Amino acid sequence: MSVKPIDLTDAVHYHVGAFPPIELDYGALLGPLDEAASALARYDAKMTNMVNSELFVAPLRRQDAVSSSRMEGTISTIEELYRLEAEEDAGAADPYRQARNDDIETFLYARALRNAQQALADGAPLSEHLIRSAHQQLLSFGRGAQRRPGSYKVEQNYIGDDRSRKISFVPIAPEQLAPAMANLVNFMTESAMRPLIRTALTHVEFEALHPFEDGNGRIGRMLITLMLWKLGIISQPNFFVSGYFEEHKGQYIDRMRAVSANGEWTAWTIFFLEAMRAQATVNIQTADKIAALYGEMRDLFRVVLNSQFHDQALDFLFASPIFRNDRFVDRSGIPPSSARAISRRLVDANLLRTLQPAAGRRAALYAFDPLLDMLKI
């Protein structure tokens, strides 16, 4: 059976030699820039002032993994992501064995982001090595393992409709990629532009280069979080914007394509800044909802458990809303006999749902639905 040739009739080609842009309309950027910076500052202050803020940030990180992966056609859920994490945490011999490919890819995205954040925290620079390491982890298992994880493309790639073979965008050619990536990383780390503008331009340039065979969108959106932190816009690597890009996917793609088609760098940057402003507001609202749920559950746990360990139990469930019971016993900091009694009481009170009953040496698998239901996208 012959393969239908690609249709390049309406394709836009990469903007060779046009990055970084020589001119931007700073008059048009000033308002959106101030609004985005103010919204991010409010978000950062909110998260910084929260006690044990990781309990509220971690769910946002998982939501971002689901949204960013879904933009690439990888459909998973928060519950499926937490379940995979629970199986790996429990030391399952093959935690991926019964998982769908989509769930594995979303799980690998969350892990790659977490590891990249840790690498930066340990002093690693924003670099090609960091980008390629994150890509290697992203595609380390499942469908992506056959798509050169951690290595740049060696053949021309295209963006378009797989079924019709109609191409909308042609990224940079492989033989031009090495100097273009070096130029991009130098811009990321050395440019004198305002950090938010630098982040906006870095993202669109990375997506236009499309340096990998697969995984470019997810790595590009991951870079936003890492740059915002590394450039000092936020004090912790905990801002995630994929939700806005997913909701406005058509505009997101069109604005990026217009950069190469017509040099519309300023219009792209305005769109990006609006994404930052709007997502900061949504993230604050989500964190507030999680904090309110935590307060509500704290009061309920105090009554239901009648135990001095009710706060430790609640903190564990917010950090790991799906878990094997032996991990709760081992890691909650609660004496084992009390921990087992607490999980039984929470099941009896319908605050924990049994996903798998205990069987032989395998501990029961539980889900904390109050948090999982709130986080559903």
How far is residue 317's CA from residue 183's CA, in Å, rounded to a whole number?
Answer: 45
pLDDT in tens, 217-266: 999 999 999 999 999 999 988 888 999 999 999 999 999 999 999 999 99
Q: Which of 236, 230, 278, 256 is nearest to 61 (CA)?
A: 236
H/E stretch holding 67 reads helix 54-70
Share of the chain above pLDDT 70, in %: 96
Mean pLDDT over the full length of the chain: 91
pLDDT of residue 93: 56
Tell me, what's the pLDDT at 162? 80
Q: Residue 32 corresponds to which amino acid?
A: P
Burial class (CB within 10 angstroms; exposed 0-12, middle 13-18, buried 19+) of 303: exposed
Q: Which residues of 224-255 are buried (b: 16+ CB within 10 A; e: fewer)?
A: bbbbbbbbebbeebbbbbbbbbbebeeebbbb
Q: What is the CATH number of domain 24-281?
A: 1.10.3290.10
Q: What is the pLDDT of residues 311-356, one digit of tens each?
A: 999 999 999 999 999 999 999 999 999 999 999 999 999 999 999 9
pLDDT at residue number 310: 96
CA torsion sign for 102, 70, 166, 15 is negative
The residue that leads in pLDDT, 309 or 101, is 309
- CATH architecture for segment(s) 306-375: Orthogonal Bundle (1.10)
The answer on pLDDT for 40 being more than 70 is yes
Check whether 48 has a pLDDT greater than 90: no
Give the start-to-end residue ranges of the domains of the chain: 24-281, 306-375
pLDDT above 90 coverage of the chain, percent: 71
User: Residue 97: what pLDDT?
Assistant: 60
* Residues forming beta bridges with residue 353, ordered by sequence position: 367
- Angle among Cα 371, 373, 376 to the nearest 5 degrees reads 110
Confidence at residue 96, expressed as pLDDT on a 0 to 100 scale: 56
Instruction: Give dist(CA 229, CA 53) in Å, integer.
Output: 16
* pLDDT tens track for 98-138: 667 778 888 888 889 999 999 999 999 999 999 999 999 99
Most confident option among 40-54, 199-213, 361-375: 199-213
